[in-house]
Amino acid sequence: MTNNQFPEKYSKNNLLRKNIAKNHHLIKLNKKKPTIYSYYGKRLVDIFLSIIGIVFALPIIIVIIIAIKLDTSGKAFYRQERVGQWGKTFQILKLRSMHKNADQIGPHYTEKNDSRITRVGFFIRARRLDELPQLINVLAGNMSMVGPRPFTLLDTQLNTEVSGFCNRLIVKPGLTGWAQVNGGNNLSIEEKLQYDLFYIQHIGFLFDIKIILKTIIVIFSGEGAR
């Protein structure tokens, strides 16, 4: 695959396509030989778990929607463009945890005790409940249950020249990931990248189950949330 074929086939964003093409040579991992799980099993697990998750999460989501509506004005859901596998962008779905138009009135990154976060937002972010609607993204095939968390288009464009960063685009982004259960938002970009690359090199059914189980512990502890 040439540098021209790579971006043309996937990313539709011109700047991102150029950056990926420029750094395509960086996408080199000493991955294990692909397994049946990575080819077929992972997607089947995603479909199964996302359906089960949606069924169980629906009552919780309804309660949170009511709480958001009572707390602040504006829509209960929040959509944002994120970068997925091979640089292809998609709309990620979240429960709104910030005041309306927060992106225009505050810093790009969420800070500790960020004033843009609503009262309900502080609670659902601490328990990662704002991410529950992304089960729909998993079912749709934009995301996986486990993988590197999807970055925004701007973050991806700013970091494509960081050594190894493009390797994150080899796999689908995840609802949870190895970095999320080992520090989450308390990690730097470089630290998150190291955890993400380790995961990509060791993708497997048991590893995914381990991360999902650790995610449940993190949800109750609130570790790494912001």
Q: What is the pLDDT of residue 213?
A: 95
Q: What is the pLDDT of residue 16?
A: 61
Note whether 177 and 147 are within 8 A (CB).
yes
The verdict on residue 10 lying in a domain is: no
Q: How far apart are CA 133 and CA 77, in angstroms?
A: 9
Residue 9 resides in a domain? no
Listed as ranges, residues in the chain with pLDDT below 70 are 1-33, 102-113, 222-226
Domain that holds residue 57: 35-221
Per-residue pLDDT at 212: 96
Instruction: Calculate the alpha carbon distances from 23 to 15, 16, 159, 166, 200 in Å.
Output: 12, 11, 11, 7, 18
Predicted confidence at residue 137, as pLDDT, reads: 98
Would 13 be classed as within a structural domain? no
pLDDT value at position 5?
40
Stated pTM of the model: 0.83
What pLDDT is recorded for position 100?
Answer: 75
List the beta strands (DSSP E) in 19-155: 77-83, 89-95, 144-146
- What pLDDT, on a 0 to 100 scale, did the predictor assign at position 9? 47
pLDDT of residue 140: 97
| Residue 208, domain member (yes or no) | yes
Looking at the structure of the chain, the number of domains it has is 1
Q: Is residue 8 part of a domain?
A: no
**How far from 71 is each of 101, 102, 117, 120, 167, CA to CA, in Å?**
15, 15, 11, 7, 40
Q: What pLDDT was estimated at residue 113?
A: 67
Tell me, yes or no, whether 108 lies in a domain. yes
Residue 5 covered by a domain: no
Could you give the CA distance from residue 65 to residue 76 in angstroms, rounded to a whole number?
6
Helices then strands, each counted (H, E), the chain? 10, 4
In a domain, 123, yes or no: yes
Q: Which pLDDT score is estimated for 3?
A: 40
